[in-house]
Structure 1
Amino acid sequence: MFSQRKFYTPYTSPTDPCPPIEVKSYETPPQLYLGFQPPCLPQYASAKEALHRGTLWPALYSPYESPYKRGDTGE
């Protein structure tokens, strides 16, 4: 399984007057990992659940996880 949250370390200048953010993060959408939509892709059983999730296919569902909730400083 892949992680939709990616992390990187930006360049920090030694002369920067602001405290550096050592690790930044961003999220990638699941469409990047799917490529072409395969035939007979499983769907949610009910329309109510699909509307709640915002997509008809579970493979394209991507819940937003706040980087601040997990302790990551984010951007």
Structure 2
Amino acid sequence: MKSNPETFTKVKSYVPFHGPCDPCPPIGRKYYSTPPNLYLGFQPPNLPQFSPAEALKSGTLWAFFYDFYENPYKKRAGKGNG
């Protein structure tokens, strides 16, 4: 069974367990990022590449391995501001 690595999500979330006797308030949803190379076994030949200038900006030559980090908490907090 072979799966396509581009079908996986890079940002995942979970809700920590909050027991009925827990004195602390619930934390809510937590987010974490998984690197793209986690879903790729061996690097296949002929992967699309960035131009040299774009590769220096993104930190990788191959577009598949580019992983921009966007803070999900900042995004969620910005929705209430207006």
TM-score by length of 2: 0.76
**Pairwise CA distance, 1:68:** 1.4
Match of 2:68, as an amino acid?
P
Match of 1:29, as an amino acid?
P
Q: Which runs of 5+ in 1 are unaligned?
A: none
Q: Which runs of 5+ in 2 are unaligned?
A: 1-6, 78-82
Partner of 2:54: 49
Higher helix content, 1 or 2: 2
Higher RCO, Cα 8 Å, sep 6+: 1
Can you list the C-alpha shifts for 1:8-67, whole angstroms capped at 9, x where unaligned? 12111222222111211110000012221001212112x111010000000000000101
The runs of 4+ residues in structure 1 deviating greater than 4 Å are: none
Aligned length: 71
TM-score by length of 1: 0.82
Alignment of 1:66 with 2:71, yes or no, is yes
